[in-house]
Structure 1
Amino acid sequence: MPILSLFKSTVLLLVLVFSSCMGQQKETESSSAEVSKDSIVEIKVAANRTESYLPLLKGKKVGIVANPTSVIFHDGGYTHLVDSLVSLKVDVKKVFAPEHGFRGQADAGEHVKDGVDSQTGLPIISLYGKNRKPSQEQLDGLDVVVFDIQDVGVRFYTYIATLQLVMEACAAHNTPVIVLDRPNPNGHYVDGPTMEKEHTSFLGLTTIPLVYGMTIGEYAQLLNGEGWLENGQKVDLTVVQLENYTHDSEYHLPIRPSPNLPNDVSITLYPSLGLFEGTNVNAGRGTEYQFQRYGASFMDSTEYDFSYVPEPNFGSKSPKEEGKTCFGKDLSKSSTMHEVSLQWVMDAYENTLDKSKFFLTSGFTKHAGTALLQQQIEDGFSEEEIKATWQEDLEAFKKIREKYLIYN
Structure 2
Amino acid sequence: MNYNKVFLLITSLALFSFANAQSTNKPAKSLRIVPGAERMEVYLPLLKGKSVAVFANQTSMVGNTHLVDTLVKSGIKVVKIFGPEHGFRGTASAGEELGNAVDKKTGIPIISLYGDHRKPTAEDCKGVDVLLFDIQDIGTRFYTYISSLQYYLEAALENHVPLLILDRPNPNGFYVDGPVLEPKFRSFIGMQPVPVVYGLTIGEYALMLAGEKWLTPEANKINSYNTTTKPTKDTPFHVLVIKCANYDHNSKYVLPVAPSPNIRDIQSIYLYPSTCFIEGTVLSEGRGTDKPFQLIGHPTLPNTMYAFTPKPNEGAKSSKCYYQQCYGWDLGGSPEKILKELNKKIQLKYLLNAYKLFPGKDSFFLKNNFINRLAGNDMLAQQVRQGKTEAEIRKSWEPALSNYKKIRKKYLLYRDFE
TM-score using structure 1 length? 0.87
Match of 1:284 among 283, 286, 296: 286
Tell me the equivalent position of 1:260: 262
AA in 1 matched with 2:187: S
Measured after TM superposition, the shift of residue 43 of structure 1 is 0.5
Following superposition of structure 1 onto structure 2, how do residues 275-314 of structure 1 map, counting pairs within 5 Å? 275-301=277-303, 304-314=304-314
Structure 1 CA distance for aligned equivalents of residues 382 and 258 of structure 2: 34
Match of 2:34 in 1: 44
Looking at structure 2, the residues matched to 96 and 179 of structure 1 have their Cα atoms a distance apart, in angstroms, of 14
State the structure with bigger RCO (CA 8 A, min sep 6), 1 or 2: 2
CA-to-partner distance for each residue in 1:255-300, whole Å, 9 max, x for gaps? 0000001111100000000111111111110000111110011323
User: What is the CA–CA distance in structure 2 between the aligned matches of 1:209 and 1:47, rounded to whole Å?
Assistant: 27
Deviations 1:201-248 (A, max 9, x none): 000110100100000000011001111111134541000001000100
Counterpart Cα distance in 2 of 1:59 and 1:124: 21
Other-structure match for 1:347: 353
Q: 2:362 aligns with which of 337, 356, 369?
A: 356
User: Which residue number in structure 1 is paired with residue 145 of structure 2?
Assistant: 159
Conserved in 2, the CA contact under 8 Å of 1:195 and 1:207? yes
1:400 aligns with 2:410: no
Shift of 1:319: 2.2
Q: 1:335 pairs with 335, 338, 342, which one?
A: 338
Provide the secondary structure at the position in 1 that maps to 2:79: strand
The amino acid across from 1:194 in the alignment is V
* SS in structure 1 at match of 2:82: strand
Contact 2:31–2:246 (8 Å) recurs in 1:
no
1:59 deviates by 1.3
Q: Taking structure 2 as the reference length, what is the TM-score of the superposition?
A: 0.85
Equivalent-residue separation in structure 2 for 1:362 and 1:132 (angstroms): 23
Q: Which residue of 2 aligns with 1:133?
A: 119
Structure 1 residue 182, shift from structure 2 partner = 0.3
Q: 1:241 aligns with which of 236, 240, 243?
A: 243
Structure 1 residues 62-103: Cα deviation after superposition (integer angstroms, max 9, x where no partner) = 000000000101xxxx10000000111101000000000001
User: 1:3 aligns to what?
Assistant: none
Asked if the contact 1:155/1:209 (under 8 Å) is kept, the reply is yes
Secondary structure (helix, strand or coil) at the match of 1:62 reads strand
The answer on 1:63 being equivalent to 2:30 is no
User: What does residue range 77-92 of structure 1 map to in structure 2 within 5 Å?
Assistant: 78-92=64-78
Equivalent position to 1:192, from 178, 187, 201: 178
The whole-number CA distance in structure 1 between the counterparts of 2:96 and 2:408 is 32
**What is the one-letter code of the residue matched to 1:62?**
V
2:279 and 2:118 mapped to 1: Cα distance? 21
| 1:324 match | 324
Gaps of at least 5 residues in structure 1 are 1-39
Q: Report the alpha carbon displacement of residue 339 of structure 1 after superposing the two structures with TM.
A: 0.7
What runs of 5+ residues in structure 2 fail to find an aligned partner?
Answer: 1-29, 224-237
CA contact (8 A) 1:167 1:177 kept: yes
Offset, 1:159:
0.1
Distance 1:295 1:234, change over 3 A: farther
Residue of structure 1 equivalent to 2:390? 383
Displacement of 1:355 after TM fit? 1.3
Structure 1: how far apart are the matches of 2:361 and 2:242? Answer: 49
| 2:162 aligned partner | 176
Indicate if the aligned counterparts of 2:132 and 2:166 stay in contact, CA closer than 8 A: yes
The aligned residue for residue 315 of structure 2 is 315
What letter corresponds to residue 65 of structure 1 in structure 2?
A: F
Give distance in 1, aligned partners of 2:115 and 2:191. Answer: 18
Distance in 2, Cα, partners of 1:311 & 1:103: 23
CA RMSD between the two structures:
1.2
Q: Secondary structure at the match of 1:193?
A: coil
Please give the alpha-carbon distance, in whole angstroms, between the structure 2 residues aligned to 1:377 and 1:143: 50
Given candidates 274, 291, 299, the residue that maps to 2:276 is 274
- Identity across the alignment (%): 47
What code does the residue aligned with 1:119 have? K
Q: Which residue of 1 aligns with 2:375?
A: 368
